[in-house]
Structure 1
Amino acid sequence: MLRLRNHLFSGVRAAFPPPHHHPFSTTTPATSPARFAAEEYLVATCGLTPAQAAKASKGLAHLKSPAKPDAVLSFLAGAGLAKEDIAAGIARHPQLLCCKVDKTLTPRFAQILSIGLSPAQISRIISIVPNIFVAPSMISRLQIYLSLLGTFDVLHSALKRAPYLLGQKLEVFKPNMALLLQCGLTASDLALFSKLLTSKPERVKEIVACAEKLGVAPNTGTFKGALWAVYCVGHDSIGAKMDLLKATLGCSEAELALAVRRAPQLLRMSEGKLSRTLKFLKVDVGLNLQYILLRPPILGYSMQRRLIPRHYFINILKAKGLAKENIDFYSAVCMSENNFFQKFIDAHRETIPGLADAYASACAGKIPHYIKM
């Protein structure tokens, strides 16, 4: 289409020459080069989606030809970077295609290699932080963060959650890391809390103090959940959230405090989801509130993918005399998918033809008609 349009325009120019050009002049006028079609190039050559290309092309509007992007792509591919990582990097930072190979890419790539990263690891970094080639300070921080977090995989996981980590000053990162390690988090845990690592140290201290006020002891697995819950809700909004939970659950303050200590993820649940899950457990499953509050993690499971399928399939087995009447629902819900399948589904597939397929459909949100009770 672009070529056709240029062809038509050239025909128009030939038919209507500029005023200062004599139609019989022997001097050949200079022809203007074709415009660089950035969007088409990003899709056809770089592998971006049309939507990505439309957004990224704005950063390449000044380019007149594909010469520089071609050189960049050739260098990156020759250095051993994966096509999909290059495409992801360009989508994030299209100006990567404008870098000079000799003055920028070559020395920076060598600098990253000197840290000890392999081309495959550099490829994974470029897909997340492609502007590292134009920010030498990021390379020095990359080396420091790698030494602090211990392994490349932990660092990569942290960058996936917080790509701006390499732009963070060490004066912020180090005290946050030290405090979280004191709370019992491991280096692997820190990758999950990379957003917390980049927060202001004063705020991190407030979040830790708020998690402790919930009654969750540091150096426990539950404390990690409490930290994340406080971070997501906001330490200054925890009081209001606790009041909302108490009203939704219809419990006492002491009962709620105990439930939150056992399952801090309750703080991150919306009122709507909590209400729907509570209603299902009380009305459909027949559990009383005290049973639920003593086992609060049950409220966090997906209704469609776990609670509903397991409830209905246990009931159908009971109705056919294939399961005990006193099955503890919480124990059945907490089982891994494989264990539940083996105990309740696989063991009865011959007795009830199609049971396994029906359960798979149920877990996908489709309860078969003959299973509903």
Structure 2
Amino acid sequence: MSRLTNFKKWKIKKGIFDHFPSKTLTPFLTFLSSLFLRLPFLPGAAWPLRLSPPIFLHSFILFWGICSFSHSSSQQVTNRYLSTSSDIVSSPTSAPLASNALQLKNKRKAVIALLADHGFSESQISDLDKRFPQILSANPEKSLLPKLLFFQSKGLSSPEIVKLVCSFPRVLTGSLDKRIIPAFDYIQAVLGSEEKTLASIKQFAGILVKDLRISAGPNIEILKQIGVPDSNIFKYLQYQPRVFLINPVRFKETVERVTEMGFNPQQLQFVVAVFILRAMTKSTWDKKVEVYRKWGLSEEEILLAFRRHPWSMMRSEDKINGAMDFFVNKMGCEASFAARRPILLSLSLKKRILPRGYVYQVLLSKGLIKKHQNLILFFESSENCFIEKFINPHKEQIPGLLELYKQKLMDSRR
């Protein structure tokens, strides 16, 4: 039997070429036939890429269709391909592929239904699929459901579970028996209660997919060895668990750096400084130091500010500049004032400093307060305390001051 006869004997259902223009169909088939005739047919040899003749023809049809209809959208091409492929007679190669595709589609439907039943919205499921598509291909009954039930058994509500998973989708793909349960038990053993453990994983669910005896354990021991109280360690494990998930060598280097800066291991600020330096690269630290230098602060003053309030170094360069500009140029403070009162630089510029700064200027212009008097209390106090101490006592002298202040707050949120 000749190769051409073999080619003609392929079972192609009627209508497969109906979508192709007749002017290009004949040359295409001629080309395909000539190419087919040139391919070697050795006894027992496999087709290129192990494709059977019908699948090989199928691939050429798809390729030709894409090239011929480049003006069409990708979705139209895909739809045409799918409708065309359904007309090709099943082959030993295509049947398993179709079966696998159907199984995958059914599994995705089952996963979506399971997540929806546990409180996930359509948009949240779509977001999970984009960020971590492995979830929608997991086994819903054997892999996902046991983890959701485990979280429920620990007292987490459906909204809390949804928030937990959306914040760290990988928590649903980690092994329940080998990772999640051992991690949960380890944290509970360290913190001493299930309530504190839940608070920790709510802060960072990623702690549940780590082998904590290897990652967190050595770092906790490093802090204990230099005299950090257990209460401070546990407080950070509860509210900032991410700080412990670092290579022990790097963690020890950070701890040594904090010690050299003059922090007291007995104080909570020591652990805070470790957390901040761990979250910041050296180049980022150097850039922020340079910002303070431009405002006239010395190296010693910058370290003093960091020791008094480490969070002052977590502000962006723009926010540091904005706060320094306000206190130095508008309030008339010395640049060194920031080193002595660094907590002021950690306050929100738009939501706290500027609105209250407006009230400060009004009171100062009326002679109702003295310059630089009670600045810490003025800017740091709670909202209710600020209104009670600095606005209500002056209602008669400055009518409408409270309304003006609230308007400034509203403007800052726009």
TM-score scaled by structure 2? 0.61
CA contact (8 A) 2:164 2:202 kept: no
Task: Measure, in 2, the Cα distance between the counterparts of 1:93 and 1:213.
Answer: 42
- Structure of larger gyration radius: 2
Task: Measure, in 1, the Cα distance between the counterparts of 2:151 and 2:267.
Answer: 38
Quick one: which amino acid aligns to residue 183 of structure 1? V
Task: Measure, in 1, the Cα distance between the counterparts of 2:146 and 2:412.
Answer: 56
What stretches of structure 1 of length at least 5 have no aligned partner? 1-15, 21-60, 368-373
What stretches of structure 2 of length at least 5 have no aligned partner? 1-13, 19-99
Quick one: which amino acid aligns to residue 178 of structure 1? E
Structure 1 residue corresponding to 2:252, chosen from 196, 205, 210: 205
Quick one: which amino acid aligns to residue 328 of structure 1? N
Task: Measure, in 2, the Cα distance between the counterparts of 1:278 and 1:118.
Answer: 44
C-alpha displacement of 1:313: 0.8
Call closer, same or farther: CA 1:341–1:186 in 2, change over 3 Å: farther
Task: Measure, in 1, the Cα distance between the counterparts of 2:408 and 2:152.
Answer: 52
- Structure 2 matches for 1:79-228, cutoff 5 A? 81-84=118-121, 87=125, 92-107=131-146, 112=150, 116-117=154-155, 120=158, 122-136=161-175, 137-147=178-188, 148-151=190-193, 154-156=196-198, 158-159=200-201, 162-170=204-212, 171-180=214-223, 183-184=228-229, 185-228=232-275
C-alpha displacement of 1:343: 1.5
Aligned to 1:316: 362
Call closer, same or farther: CA 1:322–1:154 in 2, change over 3 Å: same
Aligned to 1:26: none
Instruction: Say which is worse superposed, 332-341 or 344-353, in terms of deviation.
Output: 344-353
Cα offsets for 1:333-363 (capped at 9, x unmatched): 2222221111122333455443223212223
Call closer, same or farther: CA 1:275–1:99 in 2, change over 3 Å: closer
Task: Measure, in 1, the Cα distance between the counterparts of 2:349 and 2:407.
Answer: 14
Quick one: which amino acid aligns to residue 230 of structure 1? L
C-alpha displacement of 1:91: 5.5
Task: Measure, in 1, the Cα distance between the counterparts of 2:288 and 2:172.
Answer: 47
Call closer, same or farther: CA 1:365–1:248 in 2, change over 3 Å: farther
Identity %: 25
Call closer, same or farther: CA 1:276–1:222 in 2, change over 3 Å: same
Call closer, same or farther: CA 1:151–1:73 in 2, change over 3 Å: farther
Task: Measure, in 1, the Cα distance between the counterparts of 2:151 and 2:308.
Answer: 46
2:374 is the alignment partner of 1:328 = yes
Task: Measure, in 2, the Cα distance between the counterparts of 1:119 and 1:283.
Answer: 50
Aligned CA-pair RMSD: 3.8
Cα offsets for 1:38-72 (capped at 9, x unmatched): xxxxxxxxxxxxxxxxxxxxxxx956786434433
Call closer, same or farther: CA 1:323–1:153 in 2, change over 3 Å: same
CA contact (8 A) 2:174 2:209 kept: no
TM-score scaled by structure 1? 0.67
CA contact (8 A) 2:289 2:302 kept: no
Quick one: which amino acid aligns to residue 120 of structure 2? K
Task: Measure, in 1, the Cα distance between the counterparts of 2:321 and 2:157.
Answer: 50
Call closer, same or farther: CA 1:349–1:138 in 2, change over 3 Å: farther
Aligned length: 309
C-alpha displacement of 1:315: 2.2
Task: Measure, in 2, the Cα distance between the counterparts of 1:256 and 1:108.
Answer: 47
Task: Measure, in 1, the Cα distance between the counterparts of 2:292 and 2:368.
Answer: 39
Aligned to 1:268: 314
3-state DSSP class of the match of 1:281? helix
Call closer, same or farther: CA 1:262–1:107 in 2, change over 3 Å: closer
